[in-house]
Amino acid sequence: MSQLLSVYSPFSNELLKEIPYNTDSDLEKALQTAYGLFQDRSQWMPAHQRIELLEKVQELMKGQVEELTKLAASEGGKPYQDSKVEVLRAINGVKIAAEEIGRLTGTQIPMGLTAASTNRLAWTMREPIGVVASISAFNHPLNLIVHQTITAFAAGCPVIVKPAGTTPLSCIRFLKILEEAGIPEGWVQGLILDNELAEKLATDPRVNYLSFIGSGKVGWYLKSKLAPGTRIALEHGGTAPVIVAEDCDVSELIGPLAKGGFYHAGQVCVSVQKVFAHENIARELAEGIAQAAEKLKVGDPLSEDTEVGPLILPKEVGRIDEWVQEAVSEGAELLTGGKVLANNCYAPTVLWNPSVDSKVSQEEIFGPVICIYPYQDRAQAIQQANAVPYHFQSAVFTQNLDIALDTMQKLDANAVMVNDHTAFRVDWMPFGGRDQSGEGMGGIPYSMHEMTRTKLLVFKSKYL
């Protein structure tokens, strides 16, 4: 008898569904199917067919926005209003992927530049890399699945996806939509796997590309186990530092920083976590964010006016509270929050000047907590922002172009936002961490490029 995965609402702890785990034989069958499709070029779909199918997927999704929104909110805890934005992003992501198919092109390579290269014509082309394995995370249960499956399919790769164990329902529904759209069997497969079989999927030699979104500990471990030649994209977290210059209008910063820090209860890999503000405005900014935090409606993610929902698991609520109380005991001032609420919720929290040695300063909190640090010297603030090994997205707020340019260059991050919060993202931009925050590049066009490889063609002829 198959073991069952129980999927619970993170808010009510209601059992939403029980799903059978896939077995070792299921995994082997999926790998054989995907590998067989890739090896048999007669089954490869031409670009126009992939575009047509993805257009059908978009239309089906457009007719199910409400259903998809409620499903994502119920299993993931992201408030209804933000889950609806996610669903609309996912639909647009399918559109971006379809459009990007026509941009997977090569270039002409000049010949005749030396005597040995005469009478030749050369150019590159891009081919699908092979079988893609995607292991996903809970915090965007639909949009991440789109990023990790539709990119592969659009690039011409068979893909096997393992959704997060806490949020598999959106993935299952999306796979049904792909089936309804007519995507041929085997090109996008979903499996419910335990950790042992997930590792077996990731490290199988038939897998050419692994897309992993989740904890750094697991991601770097899987990288160490990959079969030779398997490429990888790892997307982990960061501490999202923000530098605020003295010339800023504090009133204009409070809204964006509060949104960037408390969106999805801070369970986003680029959530605003550490704000380094000039000492002349830091306290005013901190108190303003604290006041904004106290006005946020925390509660049922299915309620249309909820702004902050629950944490994904009860243990995460306990961990975040432990970190906050530890920071207070080590000298931080609690301006607001710092308490466990009903239904796995945690009060949006603002900490004033935690110790640089506290966990909230050293590690990714992944919860609704913003830390404000006053500084005198911007260079020292940048140094402190760069001091941790996690470097993903960052931000600087200033009206001075020179300060913006100087800070942009000195912040160790893959992306720097100027006068916007760190959690800004659109799905066609490059997105990924560096150092311990990840490897490879996400963003739909960039993922598709990574899921292809270059082939060089050289023609020799006496007529050239």
Q: Name the residues annotated as catalytic.
A: 235, 269
How far apart are the C-alpha atoms of 95 and 76, rounded to whole Å? Answer: 24
- Chain centroid to Cα 257, Å, comes to 19
